Amino acid sequence: MARRATGAVKREAVVEVVRDDKFNARRIELAEAALETLGELGFARTSLREIAQNSAFTHGVFHYYFSDKLDLICCCVRHYKAKCVTRYDEVVATATSRDELTEGFLAKLAATLQSEARMHRLWYDLRSQAMFEAAFRKDVLEIDKSLEAMIWRIASRYAELGNKRPASSPAALYALFDGLFQSALLKHLADDRTAVPELLDEVRRLLPTVC
């Protein structure tokens, strides 16, 4: 009887886990749909109904899977994180010279700025929201740290390929590149055609001086 009971408990636990997985998978599906609308309209102008209307789901589903709006947005932020903190890692892993790393980084930078502008403006929007809404802070600070680490991996590898060491702290390097990217993004969204090439020039000039 003990065995049967244990077996039953185990099976129930497995069922539970499977159900949880399915539940979480659905949450991520919904979060992904929500990110579309959020990237289009920004946090301030996005309502649950708008999200639902721009997706294949009804607004009730979102309430079924998320306790409230903040819960949904938090899930969006966390899911976004997973997608972006390894963006440049392939370049870092495959580059065998400073030039190769530079060009790979610049190419990825330009591509990101142009094809994922909406997702990135949302990131800057949510990071600003975190200054007002405490519920976002933990996740946002974590993403920031991950991005800082990502930049640091690039800088370290770049320095290593020139037998040097990065000349600044991770925080300063991240601030620099993030600031440049943010500014370029705003100009790019304002239809400034010079934004992308100027960012690339700036980064190309900067890399040898900071690493």
Q: Which residues of the shown chain bind its own copies in the complex (CB under 8 A)?
A: 41-45, 121, 124-125, 127-134, 137, 140-141, 144, 167-169, 171-172, 174-180, 182-183, 185-187, 189-190, 198, 202, 205-206, 209
Name the minimum Å distance from CB 154 to its own copies. 16
Residue in 44, 10, 3 with CA at minimum distance from that of residue 132: 44
Residues 32, 63, 125, 182: which binds DNA (CB under 7 A)? 63
Alpha carbons 107 and 13: distance in angstroms, whole number: 48
Specify the residue, 27 or 188, whose C-beta has the smaller distance to DNA.
Answer: 27
Alpha carbons 85 and 112: distance in angstroms, whole number: 13
79 binds, among its own copies, DNA, none (CB under 5 to 8 A by kind): none
Amino acid identity for residue 185 in this structure: L
According to the binding rule CB under 7 A, does residue 57 interact with DNA? Answer: yes
Name the minimum Å distance from CB 197 to its own copies. 13
Handedness of CA 117, 174, 141, 105 (dihedral sign): positive
Alpha carbons 118 and 130: distance in angstroms, whole number: 18
Query: 170 near 114, Cβ under 8 Å?
Result: no
Residues 36, 50, 103, 142: which binds DNA (CB under 7 A)? 50
103 binds, among its own copies, DNA, none (CB under 5 to 8 A by kind): none
Alpha-carbon distances, residue 153 vs 28, 150, 197 (angstroms): 28, 5, 24
59 binds, among DNA, its own copies, none (CB under 5 to 8 A by kind): DNA
